Amino acid sequence: MKITVFCDRYLRRLFWSCILMAVFTSAVACGSGDSSDDGPVQIFASDTNYTVDEIKAIGAKTSRQYSVENLPDGVDAWKILWGINPNNKHDYEIRFYPSHDLAVSSGKAMAIEAIGANIEYPE
């Protein structure tokens, strides 16, 4: 494999990794507003609504599509396997909403239920 092909693939994966993390954060994050706290930002709003096909395009493997019957305002939900390092991938549950605002307002309770109450959530 030529080094330029390797670099192109690496940079493309790095770019999509950043996009994917923004999507995950938007889907499970909660709270917003002005804060003087210098801690990490947990919500990244995006003007783009992503699809599972775009997530698969960056190398994620879908393993199960969930019913959104009990997911308020949710339009799609998937369990995926993903990681930058092909030998160190992790399971993620991704949820899709029509907008960022609905993801924050409707998805907070379900995100807390899924990842646990011991996580710090901004108010």
Q: What is the pLDDT of residues 5-20, one digit of tens each?
A: 555 666 677 666 767 7
Q: How far apart are CA 29 and CA 25, in angstroms?
A: 5
Q: Where are the beta strands (DSSP E) in the chain?
A: 61-66, 76-82, 90-96
Six-digit token pair at 86? 């092909």
- CA-wise closest residue to 45 among 32, 58, 59, 60: 32
* 18: enclosing H helix or E strand: helix 3-28
pTM above 0.85, yes or no: no
Average pLDDT, the chain: 75
> pLDDT tens digits, residue range 63-117?
999 999 988 888 999 999 988 888 888 888 888 888 888 888 888 777 777 777 6
Q: List the beta bridge partners of residue 65.
A: 78
Domain ranges of the chain: 3-30+48-115
Structure tokens at 1: 């494999």
